[in-house]
Chain A
Amino acid sequence: MESLTFNIDNGYLEGLVRGFKCGILKRDDYTNLVQCETLEDLKLHLQSTDYSNFLANEPSPLQVSTIDDKLKEKMVIEFQHMRNHAVEPLSTFLDYITYSYMIDNIILLITGTLHQRSISELITKCHPLGSFEQMEAIHVASTPAELYNAVLVDTPLAPYFIDCISEQDLDEMNIEIIRNTLYKAYIEDFYKFCEETGGATADVMCEALSFEADRRAFIITINSFGTELTKDDRAKLYPRCGRLHPDGLAALARADDYEQVRAVSEYYAEYKLLFEGSGTNPGEKTLEDKFFEYEVKLMVNGFMQQFHYGVFYAYVKLKEQECRNIIWIAECVAQQHRTKIDSYIPIF
């Protein structure tokens, strides 16, 4: 039934996003990009891809940051175009995608103000997808409660923030806790929304969000070793919609070192593979990269099904990965540091 009516509202946008997806750089493009000697070469090669003239009006010499801005700008323009043409419930779905960028922006701004950086300097670093009206006034708040009352209460993030109000003041540790609590609430809410939407959207998105939740749980656990975060507090930060929930999360909550985390992953076939393939030695991929790789695989698979919203999420994630790849290569080229240039994550 869904496939009958899907195209009435969303056919154009799905077609559009699939078209955009075809513009994502292929393996051949990356092999060419890696061979570039200078950023000018990079620009020349990107001209022959779907990016075409996105750098044409930039005077040389090019900066990596300019490339980054332009990459983001292109993605944001595409996303905004889709958002402007979307109707319910797709528009809500697309809004959900932007919430994670909003969380990142808030955290960035709070951390920045904590370190006495000027707000105008920080604003340029914010991701344009996650900007909102009250964002720039965020530095009036000095406690989480103020933050909530003054800034966030009007934003869609308000319900996620309820759990953090009780924190006393804003220091590094608390900011990190706020970030993770926000993410937890966000992912769980998004998960619920996708479940309610049902159909192929639920199939694809629940898988993607479970992975996202589990990845966060793993990372939180690993990063918490050697900090003053108590195990109870830690357990509160785990998003409870992944495959790890509930047994895996309980085990993670008890973990004391990396080996124990690894032992938890043994019970889950797909995560076991990720942990086995990773390492910190040269030549080995880091766990983070492994997670990214797995995410890319999931997202590419998202395009296999039709008539669902997952493609929009997948496209944004893939595009983000592509930006990371290009920036990585550009940085390596700019700094003449070619030994690690190959550690990008090809998408197709």
Chain B
Amino acid sequence: MGSLFRSEEMSLCQLFLQSEAAYACVSELGELGVVQFRDLNPDVNAFQRKFVNEVRRCAEMERKLRFLEKEIKKDEIPTLDAGDNPDAPAPREMIDLEATFEKLENEMKEVNANAEALKRNFLELTELKHILRKTQNFFEEEEHSIVDDAQHALGVDDSRPIASQAQPLQLGFVAGVILRERIPAFERMLWRVCRGNVFLKQAEIESPLEDPVTGDQVNKSVFIIFFQGDQLKSRVKKICEGFRATLYPCPETPAERREMAIGVMTRIEDLNTVLGQTQDHRHRVLVAAAKNITVWFIKVRKIKAIYHTLNLFNLDVTSKCLIAECWAPVVELDKIQLGLRRGTERSGSSVPSVLNRMETSEEPPTYFKTNKFTSAFQAIINAYGMANYREVNPAPYAIITFPFLFSVMFGDAGHGLIMFLFGLWMVVREKQLLTVKDAGEIWDTFFGGRYIILLMGLFSIYSGLLYNDAFSKSFNIFGSSWRVTDDFPIYGPNKSTIISHIQLSPNSTAFQGDVYPFGLDPVWQLSGNKIAYTNSYKMKLSIILGVSQMLFGVILSTFNHRYFKNTLNLFCEFLPQVLFLLCMFGYLVMLVFYKWIYFSAIERNSNCAPSLLIGLINMFLFTYPKAPCSSHTFYPGQQAVQTLLVVMAVLCLPWMLLVKPFILRWQAQRKIGGSMHHRSTRQVPKVTNINGDADDAAEEVVHHDDVDIIHIHKEKEEEFQFGEVMIHSAIHTIEYCLGTISHTASYLRLWALSLAHAQLSEVLWTMLFRIGLSMNGYHGSIIIAGVFFAWACCTIGILLLMEGLSAFLHTLRLHWVEFQSKFYTGAGYAFQAFSFAQIMEFKTDD
């Protein structure tokens, strides 16, 4: 937990890895997942890097695995996911893996090719079977008509010999099978091309057939085309070919057809047994592969990740060792050393790997070590912007303030309880629920924020009890301090009528004088002036909470200033800022407490208590009117104190705006004078470097480069632009001053949403549930069940989900804008560790 206040301390490290040990070392680091490697050859193309061949081999292996996976899925064989995490295999094992996959793939392909050929054969035979069956009908019909025709012709002209009669009836025909959806176009084209001189009969095949290549089920139709002459025949055949119809030989006499049909049936049966055997073989191969496929995938991905990482490394001149640069958290350095040692031992290399810490002026990445509880809160903060390196992290404070501010808006013990129970359920069943994959984005969001939901529910119960509000009803736990007395305002003016809106006044004798011990007195729930009463209370509360949170934010900025040793900011930013806030709204908060304590309905006339808002406005106008009693002063000497406060607040403006830029300019001018002198002395060693001998030169050049970098770096600092700093300061000042006012007003949303929530739940109760409750007789019991259902749905849907989301968003805004703007920069970049665990997770997401 302690590490959450600031991000982890990082250090840039240089790794010298023996070429033979590099693989094992990187594999160990991948398991640890605590280093972020930097790309040392950003200018080199992806395909010109050193280990590109290995990466390619891995890609090839992955392709084969994907192929196998697809086949396994096609056969609906369950894959075994035992959740084990094998180590990355040694490079020499890669060849074995490759060989295994190659063998499997070839076997699979062979089986597939066989199966496809068999299936095609099967399809052809089935189609032929259908053709024979269907054409039987065609021919029978045809026979009748032909015979009829023939007889008719004979009747007309007896003198012609029968033989010559039979001649023109010598119709040719082709029979085949075609996709059903192509029939209309096929028919139309046949008609056009053959000018209506063909006769097409078609019948649908009822059962869908399996396409041997894709495995899809397709609907087909049998057709038979009668035509006359060879020219038409060739045309018809061409069209059939064009429409991908398969033609089958079909014998002309029924006897031959029957014989053929019998032959086809026996062949189909034979084929079926062969097909069954092929399927069995395929199934066996796939089941064997399915057992290992997850493990193989993990192994190959690990190898690929390792080689990808190795590609980022620099090759030493002697090419005996690889040089890597990485960011690593300082606390993990020991672990990394240990991992490196293990890796070196595993690879059997004698020379140990070396880890050097480097000095750098570069900004390190931001890394927070979170656990399952804090990660959700950290995610909320990161969504606004990744913290700068070692900046104060708002997340630990948000753990409490976030659910609390939420509950101020969502204050209802009943709704809070439901939310709490939902959160509790998710937390308790965490382990089982974690294993559920692909449950949808919405569920993932809720589940990810389960601890937030739990806390929000808990806090809502608390503030609901304070507001004494559960489903818009109050509990009378300690006994109300109001009694029905003679002047209880339940009666109208002539004491005979009962008025519906009770106006409670603490001045009446109905009030017993002692205060309800915890939260709001339940009697207010009945009163007509409840809203007026709670508004005043909640409004003041919002201002108090808001100002305290902002003040806390400003105070947090001192931790930043002190940590980064920025005394200038402490005096020129923090001090005026905190003064400005306290002089205006700190004073207002003080007045709120003063008014609460000093004025009460009984002792001093609170009707005539000074108004806070008017008082604040008058404070800035320096007017102190005597006329209405609500603009009187709170205490003697108020005018002097307030004048002083306003003057101080106004003085803070130039302090914030001007002091820092001018001090910076003064410092810059002094530095320029110093560095001019400094630069002239540096020329000397450079000259000697060039004159040095060759061996030294290489080393010296590096050194010289380093000097240059520092030099450039310094020069960058020296380039002081007063205008820029001034504008920056002006923007900052304006933002802060306007922000203080608008942010304070913005906190009033705490009151507004709380009011809206309470009113909405009251409306639901009176408009829905009360209808059911006020029913008499037996039918009332049925109606109340229906009404309860509607009421419960609305409560869950509107009040819990929609209102909860809206309160959540407003809380988010209060944290991001109102709170964090006081101290948080959020311009860092995240630490992206090289971690197998993350790579695997990402891959399974794909």
Contact = CB atoms under 8 A, between A and B. Distances in A.
B192 A36 contact: no
B185 A136 contact: no
B214 to A, nearest CB: 15
Nearest to B195: A149
A36 B52 CA distance: 13
Contacts of B182: 133
A138 B193 CA distance: 11
B47 A44 contact: yes
Contacts of A36: 47
A119 interface: yes
Given A139-B238, A150-B192, A151-B189, A40 B56 contact: yes
Q: Which of B60, B67, B241 has the most CB of A within 10 A?
A: B241
Interface residues of B, number: 25
Nearest to B48: A35
B193 A150 contact: yes
Contacts of A137: 189, 238-239, 241-243
Contacts of B60: 59-60
Interface string A26-53: 0000001001110011001101100000
A56 B59 contact: yes
A167 interface: no
Interface string B16-58: 0000000000000000000000000000011110001000100
A140 B45 contact: no
A125 B193 CA distance: 25
Contacts of A47: 46
A150 B242 contact: no
A153 interface: yes
Contact of A140 (B56, B59, B63, B239): B239
A144 to B, nearest CB: 14
Interface string B65-94: 011000000000000000000000000000
B185 A139 contact: no
A305 interface: no
Given A44-B47, A137-B189, A150-B192, A119 B242 contact: yes
A134 interface: yes
Interface residues of A, number: 30
B326 to A, nearest CB: 23
Given A150-B193, A151-B189, A44 B56 contact: yes
Given A59-B63, A134-B185, A140-B193, A45 B239 contact: no
A146 B59 CA distance: 52
A57 interface: yes
A27 B239 CA distance: 48
B244 interface: yes
B47 A136 contact: no
Contact of B45 (A32, A119, A136): A32
B235 interface: yes
Interface string A132-162: 0111111110000010011101100000000
Nearest to B105: A59
Q: Which of B45, B188, B243 has the most CB of A within 10 A?
A: B45
Contacts of B45: 32, 35, 45
Nearest to A132: B185
A45 B238 CA distance: 45
Contacts of A58: 63
Given A137-B239, A140-B235, A150 B189 contact: yes
B67 to A, nearest CB: 7
A36 B63 CA distance: 22
Interface string A198-228: 0000000000000000000000000000000
A45 B63 CA distance: 17
B113 to A, nearest CB: 14
A136 B244 CA distance: 8
Given A48-B46, A60-B60, A140 B185 contact: no
Contact of A134 (B59, B189, B244): B189
A47 B59 CA distance: 11
A154 B185 contact: yes
Contacts of B242: 119, 134-140
A56 B59 CA distance: 8
Query: Could you tell me the dominant secondary structure of chain A's interface residues?
Result: helix
Nearest to B49: A44
A153 B192 contact: yes
Contacts of A56: 59, 62-63, 66
A238 B63 CA distance: 51
Contacts of A154: 185, 188
A149 B62 CA distance: 52
Nearest to A113: B238
A146 B56 CA distance: 54
B55 to A, nearest CB: 8
B189 A45 contact: no
A55 to B, nearest CB: 10
A336 B433 CA distance: 57
Given A36-B47, A57-B63, A57-B66, A136 B193 contact: no
Nearest to B181: A133
Interface string A299-322: 000000000000000000000000
Interface in B240-289: 241-244
Contacts of B244: 136
A149 B63 CA distance: 49
B285 to A, nearest CB: 19
A41 B52 CA distance: 9
Contacts of B241: 119, 136-137
Given A136-B244, A140-B193, A154-B188, A57 B67 contact: yes
Q: Which of B59, B62, B188 has the most CB of A within 10 A?
A: B59
Contacts of A57: 63, 66-67
Interface in B363-386: none
Contacts of A133: 182, 185
A44 B46 contact: yes
A135 B59 CA distance: 39
A181 B198 CA distance: 33
Contacts of A59: 60, 63
Interface in B639-665: none
A151 B239 CA distance: 10
Interface in B181-211: 182, 185, 188-189, 192-193
Nearest to A60: B60
Given A137-B242, A137-B243, A41 B47 contact: yes
Interface in B138-160: none
Contact of A149 (B47, B48, B192, B238): B192
Given A44-B52, A150-B189, A153-B192, A140 B46 contact: no
Contacts of A40: 47, 56
Contacts of B185: 133-134, 154
Nearest to A58: B63
A114 to B, nearest CB: 15
Contacts of A37: 47
A134 B193 CA distance: 12
A134 B235 CA distance: 14
Nearest to A56: B63
Contacts of A44: 46-47, 52, 56
13 contacts: A35-B48, A36-B47, A44-B52, A56-B66, A59-B60, A119-B242, A133-B185, A136-B241, A136-B244, A137-B189, A140-B235, A140-B242, A150-B189
Interface of B: 45-48, 52, 56, 59-60, 62-63, 66-67, 182, 185, 188-189, 192-193, 235, 238-239, 241-244
Q: 10 tightest A-B contacts by CB?
A: A137-B242, A41-B47, A136-B242, A150-B193, A44-B47, A140-B238, A150-B192, A133-B185, A137-B239, A140-B193
Given A40-B56, A60-B60, 12 more contacts: A32-B45, A35-B45, A36-B47, A44-B56, A134-B189, A137-B189, A137-B238, A139-B238, A140-B235, A140-B238, A149-B192, A153-B192
Interface of A: 32, 35-37, 40-41, 44-45, 47-48, 56-60, 119, 133-140, 146, 149-151, 153-154
